[in-house]
Copies of this chain bind each other. A is one copy, B any other.
Amino acid sequence: MDERIHEHARILTDWSADIGAGDNVVMIVENGAHELAVAVAEQVGQRNGNLLTKYTSGEIDRAYLRAHEGEFDSDPAHALSLYENADVVLSLNAGHNTNAWTDIPHDTKQAYDTATQAVREARLDTDWVKTIHPTRALAQQAGMAYETYQDFVYDAIIRDWEGLATEMDRLKRRLDAGSEVAIQTAAGTDVTMSIEDRLAVNSAATVRYDSHNLPSGEVFTAPTDTDGTVVFDVPLTYYGERLERATLTFEDGRVVDYAGDNEDVLAEILTTDDGAKRLGELGIGMNRGIDRFTNNILFDEKMGDTVHMALGRAYEACLPDDQTGNQSAVHVDMIADMSTDATIEIDGEIIQRNGTFRWEEEFDAA
């Protein structure tokens, strides 16, 4: 086995998930992640965790969801109790065909997501971490040769997370102290949002910082009262559907207009529930180890010189105890390029221009 798989498993179970003796661990293995699963099982064993292994596959989901007739039962007890009694959930994403979901009707997906919201919330209530195992299908989606893609993935995952965490803390402190964020780009984004009383998360790929993706490398918060227009000029794949040039116009926090190359997909997302029309997240990518878009949100949203915003559910970690965030069955991230003719302001001060932060040497203060 590639030694990097073992190193990946060590980072996942130690730095990221912080697994200790007696932890009830659910490992969710996507079809294609078998090798990583073996390495992770070894690490969970060494830490004396209690391992239960789930399986996930777009093909199984597709077969099940397409065949299902009528209403989905709400939060089946076997799935709900599994996650309610789990301490840690490790999702090993992989995939043999990234388009396996393409022909599931959107209303079926939505109905299933809505019916199983409490199951999902129970899962998100654990110390969950999502990571990725490089497969040929993902290399193909990324437009890369398999071995090059493996290098890309491990370069993003196997790094000095403690050092990056320190860097990102600078931005977190600015956001925590701020009240309003304004973002402008050459592509047409011109938007403001409130971050008053919200907490930014230093997403350093460890549950100790409420950061749940490996790799990570972003700072994110839960905005409110969004006003203006956002042009998401980085394409993304949502359940097998390609979304390009999605443009959303907000008034008083809600989407009032939308456009894009695949408008019916946007419309389906926006009509899931009321919360799907509001932003649940603003994230600022700070992982310059990720050097290109690969059509995979787990990497793309972490890339330096980008911001992303998610329609739907807000993360609890961004909310002080007395506040509730945006509620929704969905959380759909979309990305905007900030590398040229773009600024991020906090309370009127430009904090990033063309991807460079104010505290960096190359920052252009004019």
Using a CB–CB cutoff of 8 Å, the interface residues on chain A facing chain B are 21-22, 24, 26, 29, 31, 34, 37-39, 41-46, 48, 50-57, 59-61, 63-70, 72-73, 76-86
Q: Roughly how many angstroms separate A31 CA and B81 CA in the complex, as a whole number?
A: 25
Q: Which of A60, A66, A68 has the most CB of B within 10 A?
A: A60
B63 touches A78 (CB 8 A): no
Q: Which residue from B55, B67, B85 sits with its C-beta under 8 Å from A77?
A: B85
Q: List 16 A-B contacts (CB under 8 A).
A: A24-B78, A26-B78, A38-B59, A44-B67, A45-B64, A45-B66, A46-B68, A50-B72, A52-B76, A53-B54, A53-B57, A54-B54, A78-B82, A81-B81, A81-B84, A82-B82
Q: Which residue from B59, B64, B66 sits with its C-beta under 8 Å from A51?
A: B64
Minimum CB distance partner of A25 in chain B: B78
A60 touches B78 (CB 8 A): no
Q: Which 8 A-B pairs have the closest CB atoms?
A: A45-B67, A55-B55, A81-B81, A50-B76, A77-B85, A42-B63, A45-B68, A41-B64
A79 touches B66 (CB 8 A): no
Residues of chain B contacted by A41 (CB below 8 angstroms)? 60-61, 63-64, 67
Residues of chain B contacted by A48 (CB below 8 angstroms)? 68-70
Question: Chain B's nearest CB lies how many Å from the CB of A351?
Answer: 43
A34 touches B57 (CB 8 A): yes
Residues of chain B contacted by A51 (CB below 8 angstroms)? 60, 64
Whether A79 touches B63, Cβ cut-off 8 Å, given contacts A22-B73, A68-B45, is no
A60 touches B76 (CB 8 A): no
Whether A79 touches B53, Cβ cut-off 8 Å, given contacts A34-B31, A67-B43, is no
Question: Chain B's nearest CB lies how many Å from the CB of A76?
Answer: 4
Question: Chain B's nearest CB lies how many Å from the CB of A12?
Answer: 14
A82 touches B38 (CB 8 A): no
Q: Roughly how many angstroms separate A41 CA and B57 CA in the complex, as a whole number?
A: 11
